[in-house]
Amino acid sequence: MATETTQNGNDPKTLLDVRGLVKYFPIKRGFFRRTVGTVKAVDDVSFDINAGETLSLVGESGCGKSTTARSIIRAYEPTAGEILFRTEDGESIDLAQLSLTEMRPFRRQMQMIFQDPFSSLNPRMNIYEIISEPLLVHGIGTSDEREDRVAELLRLVRLRPEYMRRYPHAFSGGQRQRIGIARALALNPRLILADEPVSGLDVSVQAQVINLMMDLQDTLGLTYLFVSHDLSVVKQISNRVVVMYVGRIAEIGTPQELFDSPKHPYTSALMSSVPKPHPSQRSKRYVLEGEVANPANPPTGCYFHPRCPFATDQCKVEVPPLVKSKDGRYVSCHRADEIELTVN
Amino acid sequence: MTTETATDQTTEQPRGLDADPVISVRDLETHFFTDEGVVRAVDGVNFDVHPGTTMGIVGESGCGKSITAKSILQIVEAPGRIVNGEIQYRRQSGEAVNLLDYPANSGRMRAIRGGEISMIFQEPMTSFSSLHTFGNQIDEALKLHTNLSKDERFELAVDWLARVGIPNPSQRMHEYPFRFSGGQLQRAMIAMAMCTNPKVLIADEPTTALDVTTQAQILDLLQRMQEENDMAIVFITHDLGVIAEIADEVTVMYLGKVVESGPVNDFFDAPLHPYSRALLTSIPSMFTGSRERLPSISGSIPHPQNRPSGCAFHPRCQSFINGVCDIREPNLVSVNEEQDVSCFLYED
């Protein structure tokens, strides 16, 4: 467990407060499907999201960022930890403790947007059926009211309401992603979990969807948990960023803090790996050697130590807790206060 | 552990841009004859690749960049067919040949494909056969393109695996591809492409499926290989950041046509075509402020079957001239000594 986390648990601004979230997947082998090990996909992750902000989870593939988001919405059953969600009356409810029936009213308040706009829309349903399905499932409105709502949602995501009887194949990738956003908004959610929402789109279309998401946030007061491996997109959209490495949090900070003055050696390596936007900035490239640790068989101590240029003997045995550093940042590194890091 | 590697291309003149091109593509047209009609996937493409330099081909899905690359090696799948054009290639011996004079499955084309001109693909996971050991697959390339004995081939393959940074190379030769991670497979594919000592390497989105840290490793590796072997690289990508990192020259494609080409610095400092300019400003970057709205390009890429009339970009273009852009097709013309653009803003 982290000794000190980012939380100020009673702050009414906090919409979601994740404490010590753990998700292990069993590895099963053989005829009797015996459990022979565990994949520690998410291993003691704590962070909070304020109402109206965008918090991003970033990291390389396999770092547990999607699993974290899916555990919050209980698409996966968390192995341990608390998921404190603030209701509209200001009460704090631990979602991890709820049964699936008890979870239903909270599902309305949290919706997901998926990565692939081609496989996340049912090709046999028209746009009206796709967007009104959440309303139908939750028994909201009459058929006429639902149609009005769908038209309103389509206008909100800048699609023409006349298109609602068309099928997904008639739309481009960017338009389909906007249909996915309209579906997520149908129930007036307070929290949107967006898992790589622009990664499947052409670069000339990404900006449209990012701008739309930021506009909707302003007009509807939405809160986003944004999962992405694309650091440029994350910088564009986030208020705060959680950097994950092999199921654990390396560092939390604003995009500017992480980019200008990273505290964790992994953050610094990650930021340095991003291609520079102009050929004149080609300089020394900082190349992180080796491979991401295997979450089924992670190294001892700090998971990053085999790749870390600053690792000491302490790093090899002791897991660094996520603590507040001298200048108020959250970082899990034994040497955070001693080492000077830059992004080059 | 980490290393720091200098990529000091900005200080010295990129090598070989003044040298005679090793590959000249002229008026290349590759069409797909589908049941719904003919798709002009590559529709009159021209560019030169100079020895020891990197030509970046930029474009989004459907722009024909991958088909252009496959056309060079004549590995376009049916119903696609190269219907017109020339691909002039200067061989190791100095002899200049038009690759399109050789039938796709002729001995001469096979000797070049994978030997003098190699290719690496986007998806390392699906580019290897899962039924053969990695060693068998690299050996196949060496058997075809070298006269070495079995032991020599094994040694050379192990040597290349070590050079691309795969640990325990001699043991890994006997393993199947599923034992490799994505980054390792991509490096193994580079080893396989490089072991025949090619003059030209065609890299089709080689880092798109990889994480940024692995991408940095692969770009670094490709640049080192290029310096050691004085090899030309044709680098295909939609990522302008990657272009800024490694290209010497840039060719921008949109719906099967070249819209702009020129040296990389000119492209980033003074892009000419409205599409290039819009791309450069609409892409989020680590170096712009956060929480700002981006200028976005309206609309989306048309389906290649519904190609707009005139200039294919005109429905999305900010500088659209009514009665011109939607009727006539612009030609690729030289604007100055280095830059070519296909847009009516630059035609008299």
Residue A5 has a pLDDT of 42
Nearest CA in chain B to A308: B1
Q: How far apart are CA A35 and CA A30, in angstroms?
A: 9
Residue B298 has a pLDDT of 84
pLDDT band, residue B180 (cuts 50/70/90): confident
pLDDT at B4 over 70: no
d(CA A81, nearest CA chain B) in Å: 29
- Name the residue among B2, B290, B298 with its Cβ closest to that of A288: B2
How many residues does this entry show for chain B? Answer: 348
- Name the residue among A238, A255, A288 with its Cβ closest to that of B213: A288
d(CA B263, nearest CA chain A) in Å: 11
Which of B17, B224, B296, B303 is best to mutate for the A interface (most A CBs within 10 A)? Answer: B296
Residue A240 has a pLDDT of 94
d(CA A128, nearest CA chain B) in Å: 22
Contact between A60 and B239 using a beta-carbon 8 Å cutoff: no
pLDDT at A13 over 90: no
Cα–Cα distance list, A344 to A31, A82, A328, A341, B202 (Å): 52, 38, 24, 10, 29
pTM of the model: 0.86
**DSSP state at residue B273:** S
The two tokens of residue B210 are 């990889």
Q: pLDDT by residue (tens digit) across A155-204? A: 999 999 999 999 999 898 889 999 999 999 999 999 999 999 998 888 88
In chain B, residues with a C-beta closer than 8 Å to the C-beta of A208 are 296-298
- Name the residue among B4, B181, B292 with its Cβ closest to that of A286: B4
Q: How far apart are CA A188 and CA B53, in angstroms?
A: 54
Residue B154 has a pLDDT of 94
Q: Averaged over A9-26, what is the pLDDT?
A: 87
Contact between A278 and B296 using a beta-carbon 8 Å cutoff: no
Residue that the structure tokens 């040296």 belong to: B263
Contact between A309 and B1 using a beta-carbon 8 Å cutoff: yes
- Name the residue among B182, B220, B239 with its Cβ closest to that of A285: B220
Contact between A60 and B268 using a beta-carbon 8 Å cutoff: no
Contact between B290 and A269 using a beta-carbon 8 Å cutoff: no
The two tokens of residue B216 are 């940095």
Contact between A274 and B217 using a beta-carbon 8 Å cutoff: no
Q: pLDDT by residue (tens digit) across B11-50? A: 343 457 788 899 999 999 999 999 988 999 999 999 999 9
Lowest mean pLDDT among A127-141, A190-204, B295-309: B295-309
A144: part of which helix (H) or strand (E)? helix A143-156
Q: pLDDT by residue (tens digit) across B201-252? A: 999 998 887 888 888 888 988 998 899 888 999 999 999 999 999 999 999 9
Contact between A206 and B282 using a beta-carbon 8 Å cutoff: yes
Q: Averaged over B57-83, what is the pLDDT?
A: 92
- Name the residue among B60, B181, B212 with its Cβ closest to that of A203: B60
Residue A10 has a pLDDT of 60
pLDDT at B186 over 70: yes
* Beta carbons within 8 Å of A274's beta carbon, 6+ residues apart: A231, A232, B212, B241, B286
- Name the residue among A210, A231, A279 with its Cβ closest to that of B10: A279
- Name the residue among B215, B264, B279 with its Cβ closest to that of A204: B279
Q: Where are the alpha helices (DSSP H) in chain B?
A: 65-73, 107-112, 134-145, 150-163, 169-172, 182-194, 212-229, 240-246, 264-269, 274-282
Contact between B211 and A61 using a beta-carbon 8 Å cutoff: yes
Contact between B282 and A204 using a beta-carbon 8 Å cutoff: yes
| Nearest Cα to Cα of residue B188 among B143, B129, B270 | B129
Lowest mean pLDDT among A193-197, A316-320, B299-303: B299-303
Which of A177, A204, A259 is best to mutate for the B interface (most B CBs within 10 A)? Answer: A204
d(CA A82, nearest CA chain B) in Å: 30
**B211 in helix, strand or coil?**
coil
Q: Averaged over B65-93, what is the pLDDT?
A: 92
Residue A49 has a pLDDT of 95
pLDDT band, residue B8 (cuts 50/70/90): very low
**B205 in helix, strand or coil?**
coil
How many residues does this entry show for chain A? Answer: 344
In chain B, residues with a C-beta closer than 8 Å to the C-beta of A291 are 181, 183-184
Size of interface A-B (CB pairs under 8 A): 177
**A324 in helix, strand or coil?**
strand
The two tokens of residue A237 are 């959209």
Q: How far apart are CA A240 and CA A64, in angstroms?
A: 18
Nearest CA in chain A to B285: A232
Nearest CA in chain B to A209: B296
Residue B11 has a pLDDT of 38
Contact between A204 and B10 using a beta-carbon 8 Å cutoff: no
pLDDT band, residue B9 (cuts 50/70/90): very low
Instruction: Render B50-109 in DSSP notation, one character per residue.
Output: -TT-EEEEE--TTSSHHHHHHHHHT-PPTTEEEEEEEEEEE-TTS-EEEGGGS-TTSHHH
Q: pLDDT by residue (tens digit) across B84-98? A: 999 999 987 888 999
Q: pLDDT by residue (tens digit) across B323-335? A: 999 999 999 999 9
- Name the residue among B238, B287, B290 with its Cβ closest to that of A277: B287
| Nearest Cα to Cα of residue A204 among B259, B45, B325 | B259
Residue B15 has a pLDDT of 54
Q: Averaged over A288-308, what is the pLDDT?
A: 88
Contact between B294 and A255 using a beta-carbon 8 Å cutoff: no
The two tokens of residue B166 are 């795969």
In chain B, residues with a C-beta closer than 8 Å to the C-beta of A229 are 211-212
* Beta carbons within 8 Å of A219's beta carbon, 6+ residues apart: none
- Name the residue among A237, A275, A287 with its Cβ closest to that of B245: A275
Which of B286, B287, B297 is best to mutate for the A interface (most A CBs within 10 A)? Answer: B286
d(CA A134, nearest CA chain B) in Å: 28
pLDDT at B53 over 90: yes
Residue B203 has a pLDDT of 95
Q: Averaged over A86-101, what is the pLDDT?
A: 90
Residue A41 has a pLDDT of 92
Contact between B294 and A210 using a beta-carbon 8 Å cutoff: yes
pLDDT at B189 over 50: yes
d(CA B169, nearest CA chain A) in Å: 15
pLDDT at A3 over 60: no
Measured from the Cβ of residue A307, the count of other Cβ atoms closer than 10 Å reads 21
Contact between A174 and B10 using a beta-carbon 8 Å cutoff: no
Measured from the Cβ of residue A133, the count of other Cβ atoms closer than 10 Å reads 15
Contact between B286 and A210 using a beta-carbon 8 Å cutoff: no
Contact between A275 and B282 using a beta-carbon 8 Å cutoff: no
Nearest CA in chain B to A284: B6
pLDDT at A4 over 60: no
d(CA A60, nearest CA chain B) in Å: 6
Contact between B291 and A282 using a beta-carbon 8 Å cutoff: no
In chain A, residues with a C-beta closer than 8 Å to the C-beta of B238 are 202-203
Q: How far apart are CA A267 and CA A251, in angstroms?
A: 7
